[in-house]
Amino acid sequence: MSTELNKTEGGSALHTLPHVDGLTVGIVCAEWNDQITGALLQGALDLFEKEGYEDITVAHVPGTVELTYGAAQMARSGRYDAVIMIGCVIRGGTPHFDYVCDNVTQGCAYLNATQQVPVIFCVLTCDDLQQALDRAGGALCNKGTEAAEAAIKMAHFARRVQE
């Protein structure tokens, strides 16, 4: 979802966020490209604070490939209503970019299909550093904020389905 495309002329989001009583969220954040992942994490934390949610757990893993393991452990713990995976992969001169992106994307999809809590994909896959900066609180948006919004909406969705 593009933040810029999802706004009305007045600047408010098209859809308001539901309130989820007692919301607990686990965030697993990659240390690699920490200038970007730190900004994404801060965007998510700022949104949770703004919305009044305090039960947010943050765990760090070395890189983007390790996000799937971290998210799986959080999802399987039964402690969270949603889990967010935060990472950033910037294209280099080798096929490594493709392997990492495929790995984490498939891992997130697998977790969403097999676990009882939503796992939110907040992994930037960019051609260069500027693209990442633009999406981590720069000119375009903060995808971490969008991931927090998605976590709230999906936790709300999951509770409604289970009722």
pLDDT digits (tens, 9 = 90+) for 99-153: 999 999 999 999 999 999 999 999 999 999 999 999 998 877 999 999 999 999 9
Task: Give how many domains the chain has, as a whole number.
Answer: 1
The answer to whether residue 128 is domain-embedded is yes
Q: Note down the domain range covering 53.
A: 23-162
The answer to whether residue 43 is domain-embedded is yes
> Taking the model in full, what pTM does it have?
0.89
**3-state SS, residue 119:** strand
In 8-162, the DSSP E strands lie at 24-30, 55-61, 82-90, 119-126
The answer to whether residue 151 is domain-embedded is yes
Known active-site residue 96: yes
The answer to whether residue 16 is domain-embedded is no
The answer to whether residue 12 is domain-embedded is no
| pLDDT computed for residue 94 by the predictor | 85
CATH number assigned to the domain comprising residue 35: 3.40.50.960
Distances from the Cα of 92 to the Cα of 28, 100, 107, 143, angstroms: 24, 12, 22, 22
Instruction: Find the mean pLDDT for residues 35-51.
Output: 96
- Which residues make Cβ contacts (< 8 Å) with residue 130, sequence separation at least 6? none
Residue 15 has pLDDT above 90, yes or no: no
Task: Out of 15, 19, 60, 96, pick the active-site residue.
Answer: 96
Instruction: Find the mean pLDDT for residues 18-26.
Output: 96
Both structure tokens of 106 = 């498939």
| Residue pLDDT, tens place only, 46-100 | 999 999 999 999 999 999 999 999 999 999 999 999 999 999 999 988 888 889 9
When pLDDT is cut at 50, 70 and 90, the band that residue 11 belongs to is: very low
- Which residues make Cβ contacts (< 8 Å) with residue 6, sequence separation at least 6? 13, 14
The answer to whether residue 5 is domain-embedded is no
Residue with tokens 């200038």: 35
CA dist., res. 97 & res. 89, Å (int) = 7
The answer to whether residue 10 is domain-embedded is no
The answer to whether residue 127 is domain-embedded is yes
